[in-house]
A and B are shown apart, each in its own frame.
Chain A
Amino acid sequence: MATTLTPVLTDTWDADRSWSLASYEQAGGYRGLRRALGMQAADVVTMVKDSGLRGRGGAGFPTGMKWGFLPAPDGGPRYLVVNADESEPGTCKDTPLMMASPQLLIEGMIITSYAIGCHHAFLYVRGEILHVYRRLLHAIEEARAAGYLGSDILGSGFDLEITLHSGAGAYICGEETALLDSLEGLRGQPRLKPPFPAVAGLYARPTVVNNVESIASVPSIVQGGSDWFKSMGTERSTGYGLFSLSGHVTRPGQYEAPLGITLRELLEMAGGIREGHELKFWTPGGSSTPIFTAEHLDVPLDYESVGAAGSMLGTRALQIFDETTSVVRAVTRWTEFYKHESCGKCTPCREGTYWLTQVLQRIEAGQGTLADIDLLLDLCDNILGKAFCALGDGATSPITSAVQYFRPEFEAGTHTPADVLFPPEHSSLFSYTPKHELAGVHA
């Protein structure tokens, strides 16, 4: 096997009481912070820039460059806001990280705050993961008691407070400017950019918004250096990342590997597709990334290669579906999600997802018309690139890619319901007898 796993973020997750400060320190925690505090802040920024670390929340923007966009200090506050609103369908990496190793995130936040000159950082976590919230709150208290937070941290003269903030159920708040509005006590709707958060973010002050996994990668970069980080991954997609396998796979879970690993390699580690079945389609990085099929098993999972193959690396949320699965059913459900989560601010997304859902629901029910597929594609064309934020774009990805690879299944929706073509009980991970009549149950 060409590529092997590289536990860095996951390396302490199997320790006893891994979430406690004592356990984290015993495993070498907070050495990155000590090293960073002995460096010039600008040198920490340079180190992260040189490492090539790219945002792990989906977009893949270079993290160090994002930090470098902050204007020169003007004496006023600058903020770090960590995006822990993990809600992209299929994405399940930040949540286990914060559950098992909250101190890793806190250490990353302290180092990043030091690097960008922030003295009050915010951690915005979705409200639907109660025990993670408890662990984070406790981790902040433990870090403060140990002198890692507060005034004059470890005698360095650097001060920092972290505020933990719970969301309240809204996918759109994962969009960075919607998150900022939500953090300011407003409805979570995206802002017009520019100005970008680096210039006018939280309270219109210079702000860095980073994903959990990006920030959690910082302590090891500071300890190992940029060359160490670049020794993993590919030339332009450096380092390691969490690959989250879910669905019809024998051993679903979190696999931390260098970027550029392939699904074929990951599936081999995870015991393959569930016994007696074969791969039909999969998402490389959550529901907003165009789907792939078995022909993409050897695409290196890095930003460039996945992009060249017609999708996006996204959050490395590999949702795996076998041949029992109706792609129409899968895509319809995702579209219902986007409709539900559309914030309503812009017309293409608000109205478009509404119409897409109706058309898809009748195709799923076997009541579509021959014009419906073109209508779907036309609607997608009117949303993609015309919506206010990436939510609208994301809503079109599963549809256009599914029609591209599985058009006959959509055509079958003009005469046969999806749950007749693909009985749902064949896809489920347990056996059961359907209680309801087929067709239209979910429509």
Chain B
Amino acid sequence: MSIETSRTHKTSYDAETHARLTADSDVIVARYPRARSALLPMLHLVQSEDGYVSPRGIAFCAAHLGLSTAEVSAVATFYTQYKRHPNGTYTVGVCTNTLCAIMGGDAIWEDLSDHLGVGHDETTDDGVITLERVECNAACDYAPVVMVNWEFFDNQTPDSARQIADDLTAGKAVVPTRGADSVCSFKEMSRVLAGFGDGRADEGIGAGVPTLRGVELARAEGWTAPEFPGATASAGAGATVPVVGGEQSSAERPATTPADVSPAAEQKKQSTDDAKES
């Protein structure tokens, strides 16, 4: 490590932080048959502490996993989510891959970059926002898409993206279209990606409008997949189709009483069976 680097980066963790990171790393290592597999999540863990993959973080990972710092650096530099210099509190990523770019992502990017006065992978002077051009983020049916700390902000315009940036700068919470109830910090996000849940999985919606378009059209038109063999026919479009149980379940029993072939009785029997199973 050069003298210049040691001036600008802290070279080690204090005892308390070191002990905490060691304990967390032990938890990560225990998830895998071989320790080295823990390296990617450990680099996320380092980012949750330092806000980037710091030299001391690299040294920590190397020591913990019995690797050289060169081996750890080789991995860290391969992946775009590992930052080589301190990241802003929020990564704001504008998708400028083809689909989003043409739907308006390029215009959003140009406007936001002008507005914030920073370019790709640069951070605003207040340290709040690191702006990035990002590649396809698997939300093309919501184009153009902006990601804030890798939460989805769907169907954006230059104005809406600028509003997100202004709110972040002003310290206001911003709410993803599909995600948690608010965007957490870069460090908090990194801890989740290291495999330590933040208890927020139940926040937000299950699906946005485009995600549900096919299934809602199918409901409206009464389209369904063929029923499983042995399933009882169910009446009408949009009705819940009772799904029968496994082999030798009651569903395969021949009908012996009128109640066996009544849809109402079938539903009741189904819910009783479900209760027994759970």
The distance in angstroms between the C-alpha atoms of A236 and B196, with both chains bound, is 43
The distance in angstroms between the C-alpha atoms of A255 and B149, with both chains bound, is 28
| Contact residues in B for A429 (Cβ distance below 8 Å) | 103-104, 143-144, 155
A427 in contact with B102 given A11-B215, A168-B81, A253-B213 (CB within 8 Å): yes
Choose from B40, B99, B158, B216 the contact partner of A89 (Cβ within 8 Å): B99
A77 at the interface (CB under 8 A from B): yes
Contact B102 A131 (CB under 8 A): no
B206 at the interface (CB under 8 A from A): yes
Interface string of A115-141 (1 = CB under 8 A from B): 000001000001111110111011101
B176 at the interface (CB under 8 A from A): yes
A5 in contact with B138 given A99-B207, A137-B195, A424-B107 (CB within 8 Å): no
Give the most central of A182, A185, A245: most B CB within 10 Å: A185
Contact A188 B78 (CB under 8 A): yes
Residue on A with the closest CB to B40?
A: A168
| Contact residues in B for A6 (Cβ distance below 8 Å) | 218, 223-226
A-B residue pair count with CB separations less than 8 angstroms? 322
Interface string of B235-250 (1 = CB under 8 A from A): 0000000011111100
The distance in angstroms between the C-alpha atoms of A213 and B246, with both chains bound, is 23
The distance in angstroms between the C-alpha atoms of A130 and B204, with both chains bound, is 12
| Contact residues in B for A337 (Cβ distance below 8 Å) | 97-98, 135-136
Q: Closest CB of chain B to A426's CB: distance in Å?
A: 10
Interface string of B98-120 (1 = CB under 8 A from A): 11011110110011001000000
Contact A38 B209 (CB under 8 A): no
Q: How large is the interface on B (under 10, 10 to 19, 20 to 34, 35 or more residues)?
A: 35 or more
B86 at the interface (CB under 8 A from A): no
A169 in contact with B140 given A99-B207, A225-B229 (CB within 8 Å): no
Q: Closest CB of chain B to A100's CB: distance in Å?
A: 4
Contact B200 A134 (CB under 8 A): yes
A254 at the interface (CB under 8 A from B): yes
The distance in angstroms between the C-alpha atoms of A279 and B258, with both chains bound, is 56
Q: B27-72: which have CB < 8 Å to A? A: 31-34, 36-41, 43-44, 65
B23 at the interface (CB under 8 A from A): no
Contact B138 A129 (CB under 8 A): yes
| Contact residues in A for B209 (Cβ distance below 8 Å) | 253
Interface string of A336-353 (1 = CB under 8 A from B): 010011010000000000
Q: Closest CB of chain B to A37's CB: distance in Å?
A: 8
Q: Give the contact stretch, choosing among A27-35, A66-74, A360-368, A386-394.
A: A27-35
A432 in contact with B207 given A128-B81, A130-B179, A168-B44 (CB within 8 Å): no
Contact B152 A131 (CB under 8 A): yes
Q: Closest CB of chain B to A325's CB: distance in Å?
A: 6
Contact B207 A319 (CB under 8 A): no
Choose from B81, B134, B193, B247 the contact partner of A39 (Cβ within 8 Å): B247
A378 at the interface (CB under 8 A from B): no
A7 in contact with B225 given A134-B192, A287-B98 (CB within 8 Å): yes
| Contact residues in A for B218 (Cβ distance below 8 Å) | 4-7, 256
A317 at the interface (CB under 8 A from B): yes
A405 at the interface (CB under 8 A from B): no
A14 in contact with B212 given A333-B98, A429-B103 (CB within 8 Å): yes
A399 at the interface (CB under 8 A from B): no
| Contact residues in A for B14 (Cβ distance below 8 Å) | none
Please tell me the number of chain A residues within 8 Å of chain B, measured between CB atoms: 118
| Contact residues in A for B15 (Cβ distance below 8 Å) | none
The distance in angstroms between the C-alpha atoms of A187 and B179, with both chains bound, is 29
A210 at the interface (CB under 8 A from B): no
Give the most central of A13, A127, A223: most B CB within 10 Å: A127
Q: Closest CB of chain A to B76's CB: distance in Å?
A: 9
Contact B33 A129 (CB under 8 A): no
The distance in angstroms between the C-alpha atoms of A252 and B214, with both chains bound, is 9
B263 at the interface (CB under 8 A from A): no
Contact A169 B81 (CB under 8 A): yes
Contact B140 A90 (CB under 8 A): yes
Contact A95 B139 (CB under 8 A): yes
B126 at the interface (CB under 8 A from A): no
| Contact residues in B for A18 (Cβ distance below 8 Å) | 206-207
A185 in contact with B40 given A127-B150, A138-B201, A164-B195 (CB within 8 Å): yes
Q: B116-149: which have CB < 8 Å to A? A: 134-144, 147, 149
Contact B139 A92 (CB under 8 A): yes
| Contact residues in A for B194 (Cβ distance below 8 Å) | 166
A77 in contact with B223 given A127-B44, A334-B98 (CB within 8 Å): no
| Contact residues in B for A254 (Cβ distance below 8 Å) | 141, 210-215
B217 at the interface (CB under 8 A from A): yes
Choose from B135, B200, B221 the contact partner of A171 (Cβ within 8 Å): B135
Contact A441 B110 (CB under 8 A): yes
Q: Give the contact stretch, choosing among A48-56, A227-235, A408-416.
A: A227-235
Contact A100 B207 (CB under 8 A): yes
| Contact residues in B for A225 (Cβ distance below 8 Å) | 228-229
The distance in angstroms between the C-alpha atoms of A20 and B34, with both chains bound, is 32
The distance in angstroms between the C-alpha atoms of A346 and B218, with both chains bound, is 46
The 5 closest A-B pairs by CB, nearest first: A253-B213, A138-B201, A253-B210, A28-B243, A35-B246
Given A34-B277, A228-B226, 19 further pairs, Cβ under 8 A: A20-B202, A99-B207, A131-B151, A135-B201, A166-B195, A167-B79, A169-B80, A184-B34, A184-B36, A185-B65, A246-B140, A253-B210, A257-B214, A333-B101, A432-B104, A434-B107, A435-B110, A442-B101, A442-B106
Interface residues of B (CB under 8 A from A): 31-34, 36-41, 43-44, 65, 74-75, 78-82, 96-99, 101-104, 106-107, 110-111, 114, 134-144, 147, 149-152, 155, 157-158, 176, 178-180, 189, 192-195, 197-198, 200-202, 204, 206-207, 209-219, 221, 223-226, 228-229, 243-248, 274, 277-278
Can you name 29 A-B pairs with beta carbons within 8 Å? Answer: A7-B225, A10-B212, A19-B202, A25-B278, A31-B244, A38-B246, A90-B140, A91-B140, A99-B206, A127-B79, A127-B193, A130-B192, A131-B176, A134-B192, A163-B31, A166-B193, A168-B43, A168-B79, A168-B82, A203-B33, A240-B225, A252-B141, A253-B213, A254-B213, A287-B98, A319-B98, A337-B98, A424-B106, A429-B104
